[in-house]
Structure 1
C-alpha cells in the first residue's frame, strides 16, 4: 500500500494527530505543490510519520510549509514519546527515507521536542514561539488572568457590536483581505484557495467563524477558529480599518477562547504564534504562555541556497 494511503488510515486511528498534519487538511492546502509522507514502523505497525509538502522552482525541488499550515514535522505515537532511544530510532528512520531535496524547511509542532537526530544528520534549527492559554477547563480562572486593558477593550466592544457566526466564508475572506490591504501587503491566498481550505474544515467539523457586527450591520472584525482533539487555534482574523477603534478584534479573541472552552471542551487555546513585538504583547495580556517550537532546515544544494539568499 502506498505511504499516503497508509498514512490516511493511520490518521484515523492515531489519538492526537494535529489538524495541520491530517491527510484531509493537507489535501486542501497543497496548492502550488504536492504533499507526501514517510513512515516508520515498530513491530510491523506504523509508529511515526513525517508528512511534508514540496514545490518545484526551475530544476530545484524543495520542502517548505504549505499555505494555511503553521506547524508540521514528525509525529510519534504517544507511547514512543519521551523514550529517547526509541525516539531516536524512529526519527532516524523517517529522515533517511526522505527523498533528496534542494532544501528542507519545516516548522515542527510544539510537542516535537527532540530534533537531535536531525542535528546528527546536519540539519539546523531555530527556536520560534507560539503563545498558548492552557487550563481552559477552568475558564473563570483564565478570565481572572486577563490584563485590565483587555477587559476594557472587551467591555467597550460589547457596547457597540454583537457576535454572530452565520455570515459567509466570502465575507470573512474580504475582511481578512482588508487587513493586508491596510498594511500594503499582498494577500497570501486567493479566494479559490481559501474556499477550498474552508470547505475541508467545514466538512470535517473543525472550524467556526466569528463576526462582530454593529446595529447598522457593519462588520467590524472577524476571526476564524480551527481545532483538533488537543487544542483550538486562532487561525485567521481581519478588521475593517475604518472600524478598528471599537475593540471588536479583542472581543472576538475572547469569544473564541470561550467557544474553545465551553463548546469544544478543549483545555488549550493556541494563538498560532507571532514573533512581532506588538502582537506578542496582546497574546501575553490574555495570559498566554510563551511556548517554543522548532524551525528545522537543511540545504542540500548550494546553488539553491545562494539563489534564496539573493532573493532575500
Structure 2
C-alpha cells in the first residue's frame, strides 16, 4: 500500500515549512473528525483541544490516493528535558484509528499493518512513549516489530443496552437490592440539571477519602465540559436526598459506539443510602438512549473491581503500548523497580508485631 507519509514533529525549532505541514495535517484531521462517526470521542480534535490545548497535540496521518485511511493523535510534553508522549488529562484511551475496509480477513490485516507502520514512522523522536489504546484495538503487532512493548489492563463493559431488562437481570442480586433501597427506603432521587461545581465537590470528596490527588485541574475539566456540552456529548447525574443533600454523581460521555463512565464522585457519609448504585443505574439507563454499550473505564483496583463487576459487566482487555529509547530513563525505571522489589521483600520477611 502506497501510503503518503508526512513526518510530524510539533517541537521547538521546527522550520516554517514543517510547521505549515503540521497545521495542514491537523486541519485535515479536524475535517475527518467532523465527518467520520467511527472516531472515538477521546480521539476527536475538539476533545484534544479542550484537554491539551490546540497546540498541545499532534497527529500522524496515513493516506492512500489522497484519502485518509489511518490517524494517530498524540500529545508530547517535556519532563526534565525529556520528550514524553503520553495520555493528556481526562483522556483514558487514545491509539490509532484505522478506516474499516472491505475484503478478506487477510487483506484487512495486511492493510492494518501497513497503515500502522506508516503512522509509527511519522512519530517524532521521543524519550518515552506510553499510550492506552481503545478497547476495540487488538492488533499491535507492527508496534512490536518496531521495539514497542505491551501490557494488558482490563475495563468492564455492559453490552446490549437496547435490552435494559436484560441488563438489569444480569446485575448481582445485591446490586439490584441496593438500587431499590436507595429509592424506596431513603427516598433518593436523581437530578440531571445541577451544575458542574456540584459534581466537582463530590469528586473531591471521593479522592480525598482515598488519599490521592486529583489527576486534572478544575479548569481543565471546565474546558472539557464546555466542549462536551457544545457537542452534546455529556450527561451529569447527581443523587440528592430529601433534604437536598448531594450524595453521589456520575459524569458520562459518549460517541456513536459506546458511552463511558468518565468520572464519578460520592459523599462517603452517604454510602449507607446506596446512592452510588442508583446513580450508576440511572447513568446506564440514560446511556441506552445514546449508545449500544457502556464502558466503566476500569477499574483494576481490588477494592473497586467487585463493585464494577456486580453490574453484570464483561471483562475486556485494554492494551497500553510503551517504548523508552532513553537509556537514562530505562536505568531510572530499573532502579525504581529494584527498589520497589526490595521493599516488598522486606515486607514479606518482616516479623509480625507482637
- 1-side partners of 2:35 and 2:280: how far apart? 32
- 2-side partners of 1:271 and 1:27: how far apart? 24
1:201: which partner in 2? 228
1:6 aligns with 2:21: no
1:237: which partner in 2? 264
1:171 aligns with 2:193: no
What is the CA-CA distance between 1:230 and the residue it aligns to?
A: 0.6
2:253: which partner in 1? 226
Higher relative contact order (CA 8 A, sep 6+): 1
What is the CA-CA distance between 1:308 and the residue it aligns to?
A: 4.8
- Kindly indicate whether the alpha-carbon contact (under 8 Å) linking 1:28 and 1:197 is maintained by their aligned counterparts in 2: yes
What is the CA-CA distance between 1:310 and the residue it aligns to?
A: 5.5
Report the more deviating stretch, 87-96 or 185-194. 185-194
What is the CA-CA distance between 1:132 and the residue it aligns to?
A: 0.5
1:84 aligns with 2:109: yes
1:109 aligns with 2:134: yes
Which residue among 262, 275, 287 is the counterpart of 1:248?
Answer: 275
TM-score, normalised relative to structure 1: 0.95
1:281: which partner in 2? 306
- 1-side partners of 2:122 and 2:102: how far apart? 19
Report the more deviating stretch, 163-172 or 6-15. 6-15
- 2-side partners of 1:93 and 1:306: how far apart? 30
- Larger-gyration structure (1/2): 2
CA RMSD of aligned residues (A): 1.7
1:60-79 superposed Cα distances (whole Å, 9 cap, x missing partner): 11101111101100000121
**What runs of 5+ residues in structure 1 fail to find an aligned partner?**
none
- Kindly indicate whether the alpha-carbon contact (under 8 Å) linking 1:80 and 1:86 is maintained by their aligned counterparts in 2: no
- 1-side partners of 2:247 and 2:335: how far apart? 40
Moved over 2 A (4+): 304-312
- 1-side partners of 2:266 and 2:210: how far apart? 12
1:63 aligns with 2:88: no
SS at match of 2:303: helix
- Kindly indicate whether the alpha-carbon contact (under 8 Å) linking 1:170 and 1:191 is maintained by their aligned counterparts in 2: no
- 2-side partners of 1:310 and 1:167: how far apart? 48
What is the CA-CA distance between 1:309 and the residue it aligns to?
A: 5.2
1:266-304 superposed Cα distances (whole Å, 9 cap, x missing partner): 211000111112322122211110111110000011112
1:219-266 superposed Cα distances (whole Å, 9 cap, x missing partner): 0101111000111001101111211111110111111110011x32x2
- Kindly indicate whether the alpha-carbon contact (under 8 Å) linking 1:173 and 1:194 is maintained by their aligned counterparts in 2: no
**What runs of 5+ residues in structure 2 fail to find an aligned partner?**
1-20, 338-354
